[in-house]
Structures are given as structure tokens and as C-alpha cells.
Chains A and B, each alone.
Chain A
């Protein structure tokens, strides 16, 4: 893939999307200890009352941005399975937890996309908490929105491919 090709792309190459989807399933099934299912693309629809974990996998040419949109109830369940107790949703620890989960996902994605020729490294994660959160991309880069559900959770992953700055 060259920069010129990226500019012409409307969609992210399917190999990259598949590897990222695979990483989400592997990572979250390990964390949750329950089966996670990809239930298809999502239009991003309703505003989120929850927390968004942001992390990038990047090299000098391209950046894969990963945004995990996690509803409040799912974030609370993550805290139960990850640290053995429910964290207060409004706490700093909850932001720390979602950042760390995003970081773990990025580590798996970086290793997985390398198999299809994208060699990159992960950034430090950030987390944003709020209500009525809506994700939008002003420059309309190639983007994929994926929805996942398990018995106790549901969340969205927005994946964006862009040129590195």
C-alpha cells in the first residue's frame, strides 16, 4: 500500500480489518472469560453514555486509530472481571482500567497486523468519559465500525486508517 493508494481508498483494506477484528475477539475473550461475538458493522448510531478508550498503532507512514466505545454497564463489568471488584464509574481508576485494556488490545493488533505487512508500534492510550458522546471524523478517512457482544458486555470499535503526521 502506498500513500497515493491510501488517498484513493474509501475503505480500509480487508486484511487489516480482519486482523483487527481477530485481535478484538482474542483479547476480550481472554479478559472476559466468555465468548465474544462480532455482530456486524455499526453506523455508530446513538450517543454513548460511557467511556472511550483511544490508542494508535502507527509507523512513519500510516496510523491505525482504535477507539473503543464502552457503555457504562460494560465498563463496570470489565472492572469486575479484570480486578475482581466493581470500580466506581466516575473514578480515575476506571479511566486507568479502560486505558490499560486499550493498550492490551493495541499490543495484540500490532502483532497481528504485522502478519499482513503493517509493521508498527502502539502509542500510549487515553480514555475519555462522558455522556452523549458521539464519534465523528471530520476528514472522512477510511473507517470501519464494528460491534461486539458477549453475555455481559457490548461495545463498539471504530478503526480509522490515516496518514501519520
Chain B
């Protein structure tokens, strides 16, 4: 099982720990973590070795959506971006998925089950990232269908 490098972006250290604990408990992969305290910090730490990102929305200096947009503009289309946020309105979900380029949207407080449902399709049985897969597009399509209903 190869190491999966996950960038955890949240201004709350407690929440970064909670995300890491949930990921460890799910045992989907062998994770190695990089912490960032806001979008600006995350941009400085982002590089080709990052496999997946878990990003809060409401942060000082640069929001999670601004960070996601910046990453996508650099041409990183395949790397999964999972928004983990307290923002719950459909307008926000829409903005994160469509304008921010996020792949999934998890609302806080999250349960291990909620986290598992959102991200398990991104990993194969050997703990490797599956990127750009059809299931991923279907999920995003599911969110879009809610938004349009």
C-alpha cells in the first residue's frame, strides 16, 4: 500500500485533527498528512506530491473556495478536492462544486459514515487514489441534480 499524501486545510487545529482521525479510522489508505491553516498557507504547501485535499470554507486570508479555484487554475483538474465545511445552504454547495471546482461536499459536524460515503469511491482496494473515475462524476451529478430541483 503506497502512502497517500493528504493536504488538510482548516483554520481550526481541532478540526484538522478530527479529519485526520476520521480518515485513519476509515482505513481506506495509508495516509501521510500536510497541515495548512488557511488557503494562503495551503497554496504555499501545495505541490505535485499531494494526492487529495480536505478543505474548509470559512478561513482567514484565503477561503477554501478561493484556494480550490487557484489550484484548478494551475491545471490540477484530477486531484480530488473535498470541501469539509459548516456552510450548509444550497447556494454554498453550488458555489463550491461549480465555481470552486470541488468534487465532494461534507458538512460539519461529520460522522465517519458521512465521510466514508463521500470519499470511499476515490480509493481502490489497495488504498490507491482512483482519479477521474465515472463514479466520481455520477456523485457530483447527484449534487447538481439536487441543486437544480
Contacts and interface: CB of A to CB of B under 8 A. Distances in A.
B88 A111 contact: yes
Contact of B14 (A30, A96, A124): A96
Which of B18, B85, B108 has the largest number of chain A CB atoms within 10 A?
B108
Nearest to A79: B14
B86 A106 contact: yes
A97 B14 contact: yes
A73 interface: no
B75 interface: no
B132 interface: no
Contacts of B58: 103, 107, 122, 124
A50 interface: no
B12 interface: yes
A82 B15 CA distance: 9
A40 B5 CA distance: 48
Contacts, number: 57
Contact of A104 (B59, B60, B89, B109): B109
Contacts of B13: 93, 96
B17 interface: yes
B21 interface: yes
B14 A100 contact: yes
Which of B18, B87, B91 has the largest number of chain A CB atoms within 10 A?
B87
Contacts of A124: 11, 58-60
Interface string A86-106: 000000010011011001111
A99 B56 CA distance: 14
Interface string B63-96: 0000000000000000000000111110110000
A106 B32 CA distance: 31
B107 interface: yes
A37 to B, nearest CB: 19
A96 B109 CA distance: 15
Nearest to A114: B89
Contacts of A110: 87-89
A95 to B, nearest CB: 10
16 contacts: A27-B109, A30-B109, A82-B109, A83-B17, A99-B12, A100-B108, A104-B86, A104-B108, A107-B85, A107-B86, A107-B87, A108-B88, A110-B87, A111-B88, A111-B89, A124-B11
